[in-house]
Chain A
Amino acid sequence: MPMDQEQLATTQPVLEFDGKRGSFAKLLIINGILTILTLGIYRFWAKTKVRKFFWSNVRFLDDPLEYTGTGGELFVGFLIVIAILFPMGLIYTAIGSLVPPDATELRVGLEVIYYLTIFALLQIGFYRMWRYRMSRTTWRGVRFGLDGSTWTYLKLACGWSILTFLTLGAAYPWMQVDLWRYQVRHTRLGSEVFNFTGNAKELLLPWLPCFVAILCNVGIMIGAAVFFTYGADVFGAEFSQTEQGILLTVVIFVANTVGAIGYLYFRVRQTRMQISGLRVGKVTFHSSLSFIRLFVFAVLSLLSMGIILSLPLALYYVLGIDIGVFPPIADPQPMTFGKAFASLILMFISFVVVLPFIWTVLFGFEVIKQMVITTTIENPEALEQAAQSASDTPRTGEGLADALDIGGF
């Protein structure tokens, strides 16, 4: 037997992914239907099913991860947070209604406080979400866990965010590395605490396109303000006002396309850095996640979304099949209430149900699959000595993260 095991360890990959896209799509469809039928309440159980799917399809040293959380825990956590958030929202609304509409400075101040509060809640929600997920993840019966303090994390996140804001995004790679380091160094599998040795250096070049895109956008916002205030003088007097408008649009489009592709590249490099810097004692990790592959899948997903979205339009304007939502071509009249309502429903279903479905099945699934299969682990056997830890686990679910809708799955 020991001989067999040694052979197994050397010939088979340490980390494997068994998930099938078809069964994932089926799961999402059933989840979607139940979520709509229950006016959204089912989403906690839906999330749990999706997590169980991914967790159980990742095998490490031949044994799968297991997600032990339940929809009920998420739901109760959510209710508790609602009980806190609602009065807060109400107080904010009440204060807002006391401020006269012409007190612009006071209004802006109130808005700023509102968004800062939301930002802080997002950070707290994220850390608590990670803590819950870790406590509900087991491998070979041993629970993961997240220690550390939510408040320390919040302070760290706030400090870095201010710095990132002030440097127009230049500090972003350092922020990402520092936050990840805090998170990883407080993550453990049973008794085995993770460590992180990566640094931001290798992210600086990948961040450059995004940084340039941010600078372009800020520049263009200023340019547009000048354009709309003073007329045709942004690009010099030899351009007409229309030409200047077109130029601005083209620059914004190019900058944001480059920025979006650059961001995907950055996220791939970031993920590689995040995984490759992981250490647990002698165990080391390495990721060779491929940008090209994810880029192709992103483009495929976007194309499919575009095709699906334009299908009703094509049916109507090319084939003349009316599904009851468009104004008559020949005789353009104001839409009736019924038609306006029908097109609203169609838009709602497209944007809230169909498009996220395509994106998750094509792109989201691929990201997780690639992240798993491109990760190699040296000395994985060292993790077998992990001992169960007796520390407390949260009793209810992610609450804040659910109320603020962060975290994807």
Chain B
Amino acid sequence: MPQPASFNDGKTAARHNVHIEIEALSLVISDAAGHVMARWPLGDIRYADLARRTPPVRLRCNDNDARLNLDSSDDGTWLTRKCPNISKRDTGQVKWPTWVAAGIFAIASVAGIFVFFLPAIASTVVNFIPYGMEQKLGQQSRDQLIGLAGHLNKSNKSLVCTSPTAQAILDKRAKELATLMDSPFPITVTVVRVPITNALALPGGQIIILSGLLEQAKSGDEVIGILAHEIAHVVRRDPMQVSIKQTGAALLVSLLIGDVFGGAALSGVASSVIESGYSRDAEAASDFLGVTALNQLGLTARPLADFLGRISQGDPISDIIPDFLNTHPAGEDRRDAIIALSQENGRAMSRYEWKALKSMCEK
């Protein structure tokens, strides 16, 4: 029993009134005069537009341009239930191998950018950055960091810890170490009241010691050992390289996420997670540089090794992250290397000075 329908042959936008009928395994489309206009194999018939399922039903044959529009009173079930691929999706002009290739290429290039390209760019670009500019940047990020620390500071005590005795010994040792390492920057050491066991080197000779580190330290030699290590980072311009890498990473993340997601705001956070910290090589090189300077000053580096050993044992993150992914060399490796390098036995400060340093943030 032929059904009325309208047909667009895919060659022009004319509307042909046709009759359609299933014959063997094909749908035969014939015009009013009875001429066959098209013969569609049932297996190739699909909905023209999956987004529109309300009558009139519109059909096509594979990816051809021709369209068949059933009569609006015809729900088409007599036909569609005999078409096995009726709901098959449009594959578009991009076929799946292109897809897979593009996906793999994209993932590989993003990974490549993070692992090889950004570090290489950073270590090259850093040589072109004037020292004066890095110093200004360092002062800015020091102020920002102290501002950020203000949110963590719940007590009424001042954010930056002060003690003339402690600051004097820190500055004295910092100056000696920086001179021995040929630092292009004068070193500024700031002790900030944040209960986290850490010390950081910022670009341009700014070094921040957090009060949590002073609490954990058992002697002034440990603190000066860490100071030497951080000054080595400053001399190697590692902090500057990290901030260049972070800029690149932020750019990439914001491009990838797109603006739909307020990307610009998120990318800062995401990139600092992805690109924070130094590489294992940078850490090992800074240990070497720092301990060599300590040796030249006649100071012992063993307390630095002890401190690192103590910290890495209590560090849950180091236990979770596999060694090869962790940018910091395992505490034990670093400790052994430092002990092997250390040659001297001198103490970094007097008992009185250590007491002042230890209690610097208690006031």
Residues in A lying within 8 Å of B, measured CB to CB: 1, 18, 35, 39-40, 43, 49, 52-53, 55-57, 61, 63-64, 66-70, 72-73, 75-76, 79-80, 82-83, 85-86, 89-90, 93-94, 97-98, 100-101, 138-143, 189-190, 334, 337, 340, 348, 351-352, 383-388, 393, 395-396, 402-403, 405
**Which of B131-154 touch A at CB < 8 Å?**
132-133, 136, 151-152
Select which of B9, B15, B133, B151 is within 8 A of A334 by beta carbon.
Answer: B151
A89 and B133 within 8 A (CB): no
Are A61 and B94 closer than 8 Å at their CB atoms?
A: no
In the assembled complex, the CB of A280 is this many whole angstroms from the nearest CB of chain B, namely 11
Q: Which of A53, A69, A90, A405 contacts B121 (CB 8 A)?
A: A90
Please indicate the chain B residues that have their CB under 8 angstroms from the CB of A80 in the complex: 102
CA distance A337 to B148 in the complex (A): 11
Interface residue B78 (Cβ < 8 Å from any Cβ of A):
no
B284 at the interface (CB under 8 A from A): no
**B106: which A residues are within 8 A, CB to CB?**
79, 82-83
Once bound together, how far apart are the Cα atoms of A91 and B352, in whole Å?
53
Rank and list the top 9 A-B pairs by shortest CB-CB distance, nearest first.
Answer: A70-B92, A52-B51, A56-B52, A405-B259, A140-B8, A386-B13, A141-B8, A141-B65, A140-B13
CB-defined contacts of B92 to chain A, threshold 8 Å: 68-70, 72-73
- Which residues from chain B contact A75 at a C-beta distance below 8 Å? 102
Residue B261 CB within 8 A of the other chain: yes
Number of interface residues of B (CB under 8 A): 60
Given contacts A141-B8, A396-B94, 20 further A-B contacts (CB under 8 A): A52-B51, A72-B99, A80-B102, A86-B113, A89-B255, A94-B125, A97-B129, A98-B125, A140-B13, A141-B66, A142-B65, A143-B65, A190-B13, A334-B151, A348-B262, A352-B261, A386-B12, A387-B13, A402-B258, A403-B255
Q: Which chain B positions have C-beta within 8 A of A35?
A: 260-261
- Residue B91 lies at the interface, judged by CB distance under 8 Å to chain A: yes
Contact partner of B151 (CB less than 8 A), chosen from A55, A70, A337, is A337
> Are B109 and A93 neighbours in the complex by a CB distance under 8 Å?
no
Q: Is the CB of A79 within 8 A of B51?
A: no
In contact, A395 and B94 (Cβ under 8 angstroms): yes
CB of B194 within 8 Å of the partner chain? no
Q: Convert B245-263 into 0s and 1s, putting 1 for each residue whose CB lies closer than 8 angstroms to a CB of A.
A: 0011001100111111111
Query: Contacts A93-B248, A94-B121 given: A40-B65 contact, CB under 8 Å?
Result: no
Q: How far is A94 from B90 in the complex, measured between Cα atoms in Å? A: 43
Whether B98 and A351, one on each chain, are in contact in the complex, defined by CB atoms closer than 8 angstroms, is no
CB contacts (< 8 Å) of B265 on chain A: these are 348
CA distance A90 to B94 in the complex (A): 29
* Chain A CB within 8 A of B322 CB: no
List, sorted by A's number, 12 A–B pairs whose CB atoms are closer than 8 Å: A49-B51, A52-B51, A53-B51, A61-B15, A66-B49, A66-B67, A70-B90, A86-B255, A141-B67, A337-B151, A352-B260, A352-B262
**Across the interface, which residues of B come within 8 angstroms of A70, CB to CB?**
90-92, 94
Residues of A contacting B58 in the complex (Cβ-Cβ under 8 angstroms):
64, 66
B49 adjacent to A52 (CB under 8 Å): yes
Assembly CA distance A282 to B231 (angstroms): 80
Closest to B151 in A: A337
Q: Which residues, 220 to 244 on B, are CB-close (under 8 Å) to A? A: 244
